[in-house]
Structure formats: structure tokens, C-alpha cells
Amino acid sequence: MVTSKIVATGAGIPSQIITNDDLAKIMDTSDEWIRQRTGIGERHISGGEDLSYYTAQAARQIIERAGITPEDVELIIVATVTADYCTPSAACMVQKAVGAVNAVAFDVTAACSGFLYGVSVADKFIRCGVYKNALVIGGEILSKIVDWKDRSTCVLFGDGAAGVLLERSETEEGILIEELGSKGDMYEVLTARKLVPSNAFNQVEAQTECGHVTMDGREVFKFATKKIVSGVNKVLETAGLSAEDITYFVPHQANLRIVEVASRKLKIPMDRFYINIEHYGNTSAASIPIALNEMNEKGLLKKGDKIILCGFGGGLTWGTLLVQW
């Protein structure tokens, strides 16, 4: 039985911290509103560096911790909606930054579920025997696409990158079960960066600025709680496990209240969910790997532990993975 297992984690996080009080100085909001509605206290915001800077930091740390050389890396996948360019991919920029000259590199786009989709794709390449390892990074510079005049969205998001190295394993461990899904008919609920098809031969007005994040927060909230609950139940049922067998549930960090609702519905206590939203806000594709890296650095994950990662976001998309550490 061939599986892929996580052998190292790493992150690249902007050093600039913007608190809720900092935001209240430039817009009509308050620490109280943001904390009560979301659980967010502060977020890391790029000081001007683009995504490639932080994904490269994460990649270097992962490679070093895995004890391999850049030349050993066979596949690089970056999950993002905020790459430096439309082309090249963020993954190709990681390849250049670290000197992973032998790797195949491309991006996946599934918004906040993107890291889980990236891990799923890498897992298939490894299980099929095409590649022996894969660097999978989720990263976002959301601060460059939020509308800083829209207090209902800009206070929610943060910047950062983190990821894992997956390696081929001959034993039953690593990525065990997955449940991914998409609901394109709801795409308008959460959009960003619409590119206008303006050209020299039509009357479409040229775009003056990049399309910002727009979101129907309540719809996303309902969707998110439903998908965490159904995803966790489905993965547990498929695995023949109960919630007690899972050491930690690691949800996408979008809103503390979303996790609290899911925790009540699933009858799984909140202390089994790893939460760090207070210090990062919603970093979209980066949120789950940032949490995983933090847990790993704190020594919370022991060999053999089973964890469930669950994400949801634009698309709309969702994903739940059962992982054995």
C-alpha cells in the first residue's frame, strides 16, 4: 500500500501585525465588533513584499526541516488566489527561489479550500508512483485584493504562507481519506479580482482597478457550518472512526463562530479544534497549513495521531481530509 505522508512543515509570515485597534484608526470599526463577530484580534499584513517572498520563506524552511536538498523536490504545488502574476504560477516562482530545478510546478485555485485540494492532487501523483515527494504550499496576500474601504470584508483577512512536504510511504499513514466538493452554482457568493474582457474591438469599459473581494457573509457562514459538519461526519463514517479517535480537528480559520456552531452540531468540544484565528485572521489557502505548522512547532502532533483538516471557501468549494501524523 503506497500512501503519502507529511514529513515537514514550514511557514513564511509577514512580521507586520495590524491589530483591530489599528484598523479602528482608519475606518468605522472597533476591536469589540471584530472580536465578537469573528474571534479575530490581529492579522499579519505584508509590508510590501508579494506572495513569492513568503512562499519562498516557507519552502526553504520545509526543505531544510525535511532534510532534503532543493534538487530532491519532484513536485511543487501552490494553492493561492493572489499569486504575483497571472503567469508565471506562484509554484514556478518558488521553484526559482529555492533552486528546485528538477521539480514540476503549478498552482491550484480553490480559494480557502485550496491547500486541501493541493494536498489531494499531490497525494494522487505520489500514490500513482509518478513522484516520490511534493512540496504543497498555501499562501495569500489578501491585503492586495480586499477593498480597504469595505469594513465588512477587509477586517477579516490576513497575509501569509505555509505548507508541507509530502513523501511516499509504504505503510498506511499520512493522507488516508478525503472528501472534496464544489458548488459552482453559488460562485457569486464569494468573488475576487474579476478581469473585464475589454479589448480594442469592443465597448467594454476598461478596468481601472483590480476587482476586490466581495462576499455575502451570511450565505458563506451557513454554507461553511453545513460543510464542516457533513465533511467531518462523512470522513469519520468512511474511516469507521468516531470523533474520540481524532486528536485534533483543524478547521479553516475564517470565523470562530463558524467553528463554534460546527462544534455544537457535531457534539465535539471546542478544545478539540485547533484555533489560531485571533492572531492571523482569515488567510484563506494559508490558514490550515499555518495552523498545522504552529501545532507541529508546539509539539502537539505525535506520530500515529489522527487529525482531520476541513476547509471551505470561494467557488464555492470544500474539503475534509483524514491524516495520520
Catalytic sites, residue numbers? 112, 252, 282
Q: Considering the rule CB under 6 A, would residue 155 count as an interface residue with ligand UT7?
A: yes
The total of other beta-carbon atoms located within 10 Å of residue 275's CB is: 17
Interface residue with ligand UT7, options 69, 102, 152, 171 (CB under 6 A): 152
Q: Which is nearer to ligand UT7, 26 or 130 (CB)?
A: 26
Q: Considering the rule CB under 6 A, would residue 228 count as an interface residue with ligand UT7?
A: no
Q: Which of residues 108-137 bind ligand UT7 (CB under 6 A)?
A: 112
Residue with smallest beta-carbon separation from ligand UT7: 217
The total of other beta-carbon atoms located within 10 Å of residue 203's CB is: 5
Q: Considering the rule CB under 6 A, would residue 317 count as an interface residue with ligand UT7?
A: no
Q: What is the DSSP letter of 255?
A: -
Q: CB of 274: closest distance to ligand UT7 in angstroms?
A: 16
Q: Which stretch binds ligand UT7 (CB under 6 A): 29-37, 121-129, 225-233, 241-249?
A: 29-37
Interface residue with ligand UT7, options 169, 282, 293, 320 (CB under 6 A): 282
Residue with cell 501552490: 78
Q: Which of residues 188-207 bind ligand UT7 (CB under 6 A)?
A: 190
Interface residue with ligand UT7, options 224, 228, 250, 291 (CB under 6 A): 224
The span from the CA of 51 to the CA of 79, in Å, is 11
Peptide bond into 316 cis (omega under 30): yes
The total of other beta-carbon atoms located within 10 Å of residue 204's CB is: 10
- Whether 136 contacts 119, CB under 8 Å: yes
Interface residue with ligand UT7, options 16, 17, 33, 127 (CB under 6 A): 33
Interface residue with ligand UT7, options 29, 214, 233, 238 (CB under 6 A): 29
Q: Which is nearer to ligand UT7, 30 or 69 (CB)?
A: 30
DSSP E strand stretches across 151-246 = 159-169, 174-182, 190-191, 214-215
Interface residue with ligand UT7, options 17, 22, 31, 37 (CB under 6 A): 37
The total of other beta-carbon atoms located within 10 Å of residue 320's CB is: 28
Q: Give whole-number Cα distances, 150 to 27, 28, 48, 284, 325, in Å.
A: 9, 10, 21, 18, 40
Q: CB of 113: closest distance to ligand UT7 in angstroms?
A: 9
DSSP-H helix ranges across 13-113: 20-26, 31-38, 51-66, 90-98
Residues that bind ligand UT7 (CB under 6 A): 29, 33-34, 37-38, 112, 151-152, 155, 190, 215, 217-218, 220-221, 224, 254-255, 282, 284, 313
